[in-house]
């Protein structure tokens, strides 16, 4: 199954057509042959039953008068039919009274005792027993034994004919599929090529060409419509993916990517990078007392002040709620101290929001890394420093130092 998945579409189409055709033809052919075999057995059994009945009626007098030559002549008349190998006549005691067999046939003999009236098939022969009656009373029986070589020969011919039909049908199906597969898989391949070009060149102006007015054509129309929408909204999607819609700062997703890049750059260049975690003191109280609208305005104002306070080598992010971070490259403890003090100074000025004057402050945690930390450890370090700053009071910052 895994190898089938790796095949090309045109190959899969050919295999599916040939496989389904083969299964259908084999099942139908096997059904026809099996049904014909059963019917031919029924016909053969009926024919031999008629012959046995005729011989039994003709042999009643010969058996009653113990006329063995006449009985043998009656049985020998059956050998005119090529498939009949042995004909036997039994008396009332079940002993063989007369028999007739082909000279070249030694493997078929008269059974020691006759069976009840009826037809008995074995793998290679058919035995038909018929009672001999005189004045309505049984005085013996006749056995006609024939091989099934005619039926077997017919079966072999049917199988050869079926195989010929199967081969011819598969050849026709293969040729037709080869001609039709382009119309089926061509648009799919063309659609895949268009998607591949879009991915390689990041160009959403590329369009797939519609070749057929079918389900694949509808899919191509939908694909092109999607490309048009993506092309129109690409800038908006990028903004939504990487920027916080409220504060317009870069969001958690961009922060995660930038943090990984900053750690790798610090490890390669030997320069340190600094990470600041900060949140607003008592922001929850402002939200609860003044409402979320005022809280949102406060977060917007905080984001603007934060961006103006940090140096060009730093980038501000909003992680969510009142949690903000700052990444600073080429960091030293001195430069990070200066950044933290500028942030505290920017937050020190009161804010006028919706006619109300609000004072805000922030707790700041700082961690510095030479690039040998991972994302989890550097964030944990900055978070520990933040809680140390909270414990020390508002408008405060703390560095993380390994104990």
- Residues annotated as catalytic (active site), given as ranges: 322
CB 357 within 8 A of CB 351: yes
Strands (E) in 82-236, as ranges, are 84-91, 96-101, 118-121, 125-134, 137-147
DSSP state for residue 113 in the 8-state scheme? S
Nearest C-alpha neighbor of 279 from the set 314, 246, 303, 309:
303
Which residue reads 């909204």 in tokens?
233
Which residue reads 């092309």 in tokens?
231
Distance of CA 82 to the CA centre of its chain: 59
- In degrees, rounded to 5, the angle at the alpha carbon of residue 121 between the alpha carbons of residues 158 and 109 is 115
Strands (E) in 361-401, as ranges, are 362-369, 396-399
- In degrees, rounded to 5, the angle at the alpha carbon of residue 372 between the alpha carbons of residues 367 and 374 is 70
31 Cβ partners below 8 Å, 6+ apart? none
């Amino acid at each position: 199954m895994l190898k089938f998945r790796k095949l090309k579409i045109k190959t899969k189409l050919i295999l599916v057509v040939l496989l389904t055709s083969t299964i259908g033809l084999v099942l139908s052919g096997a059904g026809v042959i099996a049904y014909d075999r059963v019917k031919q057995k029924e016909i053969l059994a009926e024919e031999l039953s008629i012959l046995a009945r005729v011989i039994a009626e003709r042999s009643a007098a010969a058996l009653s008068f113990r006329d063995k030559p006449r009985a043998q002549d009656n049985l020998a008349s059956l050998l005119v039919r090529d498939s009949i190998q042995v004909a036997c006549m039994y008396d009332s005691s079940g002993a063989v009274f007369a028999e007739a067999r082909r000279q070249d046939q030694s493997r078929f003999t008269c059974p020691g005792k006759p069976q009840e009236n009826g037809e008995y098939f074995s793998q290679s022969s058919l035995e038909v027993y018929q009672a001999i009656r005189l004045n309505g009373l049984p005085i013996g029986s006749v056995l006609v034994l024939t091989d099934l070589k005619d039926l077997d020969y017919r079966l072999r011919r049917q199988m050869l004919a079926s195989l010929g039909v199967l081969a011819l049908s598969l050849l026709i199906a293969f040729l037709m599929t080869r001609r039709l597969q382009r119309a089926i898989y061509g648009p799919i391949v063309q659609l895949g090529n268009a998607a591949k070009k879009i991915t390689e060149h990041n160009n959403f102006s590329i369009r797939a060409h519609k070749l057929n007015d079918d389900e694949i054509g509808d899919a191509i129309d939908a694909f092109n419509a999607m490309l048009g929408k993506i092309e129109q909204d690409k800038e908006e999607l990028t903004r939504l993916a990487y920027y916080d819609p409220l504060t317009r700062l870069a969001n958690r997703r961009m922060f995660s990517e930038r943090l990984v890049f900053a750690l790798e750059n610090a490890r390669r260049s030997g320069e340190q990078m600094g990470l600041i975690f900060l949140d607003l003191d008592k922001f929850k109280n402002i939200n609860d007392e003044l409402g979320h609208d005022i809280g949102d305005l406060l977060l917007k104002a905080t984001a603007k002040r934060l961006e103006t306070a940090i140096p060009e080598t730093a980038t501000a992010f909003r992680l969510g709620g009142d949690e903000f971070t700052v990444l600073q490259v080429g960091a030293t403890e001195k430069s990070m101290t200066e950044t933290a003090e500028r942030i505290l100074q920017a937050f020190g000025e009161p804010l006028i929001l919706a006619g109300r004057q609000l004072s805000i402050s922030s707790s700041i945690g700082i961690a510095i890394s030479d690039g040998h930390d991972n994302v989890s450890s550097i964030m944990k370090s900055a978070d520990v420093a933040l809680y140390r700053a909270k414990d020390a009071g508002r408008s405060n910052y703390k560095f993380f130092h390994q104990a």
